[in-house]
A and B are shown apart, each in its own frame.
Chain A
Amino acid sequence: MSPLVEPFQYAFFRNGLLVATLAGALCGLVGVYVTLRGMSYIGHGLSHAIFGGAAASAVVSFNFYAGAGLWGLASALMIGRITRRRLIGADAAIGVVTTASFALGVALLNRFGQARRSLDAALFGSILGVSAADVWVVVGVTVLAAAVVFFGYRALLFATFDPEVAEASGVRTARVDALLLAVLAVSILAAMKVLGVVLIAAALVIPATVARMLTNSFGRLLWLSVAIGAACGFVGMVASYHLDVSSGAAIVLVGAVLFGAVFAATGRRGLRRVGAVS
């Protein structure tokens, strides 16, 4: 049997590959809005906050998605509370709450977890942690996010590009913002097992950034970013198996190589599209 097809005989690998490809596509889709709205720090913070909840759930044997999800929600509310007092900026509030939550997660896993192995898996992603239930969660969240973007395409684009005029034209921008934040949160939750806490922010940013260098049209950008994310997930997961490196790291590295290649190929033209050169 060819070594390239060999891993496909294992159910765990097929599951992992499906989850990685879908999670890559999902992050590519949501990442378009995250990068254009300057929300990547929120994504970074959310994944770290959720990690605390995941660790706490693991310690008390509570359902991962329910525990991590509730914890993430509580963190978001706390950030809102702190920011509203206006003494502390939102970026600092995100820094404090999510890093503390992350630190608590590390401490819990150190003290009660199976130490190194589970910590590595949570931080950098692992194919071994993927169960059949995880496959269904990723499929469900991907369908949900795709439906939100499909039916909300026009409102999302208008509210992202030009919130003031969108509001004046009857788009409920506050509702659009909240919806997008919710989709981001569930996407992070669903993609966390294969991508890992630390690396998920890169999976959100890379596909959209690479796609941006290739097109000036929003419609094409969305498709390209999804395709690039899915390709990175697929190739990264296969590489992860053969090279014996964590799945999140492999997926992000594939994305980074692609970024470098496109960057070199498009040269200054691509740079100008991203807005770095005026």
Chain B
Amino acid sequence: MTGAALARLDGVTCAYGAAPVLVEVSLELGEGQFTGIVGPSGSGKTTLLRCLLGSVRPVAGAVWRAPGLRVAYVPQVETVNWSFPVTVAEVVLMARTGASAARRLPWPSAGERRDVEEVLERLGLAGLGGRHIRQLSGGQQQRVFLARALVARPQLVLLDEPTAGVDVRTRHEVLHLLADLNRQGLAVALTTHDLNGIAAHLPRLVCLNRRVIGEGRPGDVLTPEVLEQTYGAPLQVLHHGGMPVVVDHPATPAAAEAAAPSVPGRP
């Protein structure tokens, strides 16, 4: 269900100082697409998201966004200051700040309060608006930041490692929630280094290591050749119940067994 293009990178090269972080990256995100960007740390995943957001300017190439595109960003949960004095509702309301905000007064309007309540309910956080952000479970904490992104009514949401540092159950929860939102028409792009738990379940993958190494469905992209180029180390791909399973040591039946139980959606 891929529609019109929402954002596109054309031969984008990014650098912090002299060292290039992205080299001639071309990529298109379309309406209704669900894309996973995979690669090792330092491969430029976060920089790619920042380019799409417009917070990093490429040194070469062009970033195009559909005119009037509403794009929202969900940061890594690990980067959040959890002892900061804010409630769930206060975090969600932050989306109504800056150039797009119709209101500058400190307190929310009745309409804004309704929007916040609505998005909290939609994400299963109803009644938690007054809680401090630390008084939540891991899955709820992740959803608060997704709620902040959604209250801006985006067409495209970008998530930086939404499953880093969370437990298996939370990873499940987040993935299913994103799939639901995607079915309702939201275009989603996320970065991940979790090949089996996340990447293998997404409809479209982009393998990145400064350059785009491979792009397509997991079955086509998660191959030993593409993975070795992406991660710089030999990786093996097994197949389990029709899903690719990536293992980083010599494949044995035991290794495949060990990898399988962590696959979401499977008993």
Interface residues, chain A, CB within 8 Å of chain B?
A: 36, 150-151, 153-155, 157-158, 161-162, 164-171, 212, 215-219, 221, 273-275
Contact = CB atoms under 8 A, between A and B. Distances in A.
B106 A216 contact: no
Interface of B: 50, 53-55, 72-73, 75, 79-87, 90-91, 93-101, 104-107, 130-132, 135, 152
Contacts of A171: 97-98
A161 B86 contact: yes
Given A157-B94, A162-B80, 4 more contacts: A154-B98, A161-B91, A218-B85, A219-B106
Contacts of B96: 154
Contacts, number: 91
B107 to A, nearest CB: 7
Contacts of B87: 216-218
A153 B80 CA distance: 20
Contact of B85 (A151, A169, A170, A212): A212
Given A36-B84, A165-B75, A157 B90 contact: yes
Contacts of B55: 164, 167-168
B interface majority secondary structure: loop
6 contacts: A154-B98, A157-B94, A158-B94, A165-B75, A168-B54, A274-B83
Contact of B83 (A150, A165, A166, A273): A273
Given A161-B84, A162-B75, A168-B53, A217 B98 contact: no
B83 A170 contact: no
Interface of A is mostly: helix
Contacts of B131: 216
Contacts of B90: 157, 217-219
A157 B98 CA distance: 11
Contact of B104 (A151, A157, A216): A151
Contacts of B130: 217
Q: Which one of A158, A166, A169, A217 has the highest number of Cβ atoms from chain B below 10 Å of its Cβ?
A: A169
Given A161-B94, A275-B83, A168 B73 contact: yes
B84 A155 contact: no
Contacts of A166: 94, 97-98
A142 B99 CA distance: 27
Closest 3 pairs between A and B when the two form their complex, measured CB to CB: A275-B83, A170-B98, A216-B132
A164 to B, nearest CB: 6
Contacts of A218: 84-87, 90
B104 A169 contact: no
A165 B79 CA distance: 11
A154 B106 contact: yes
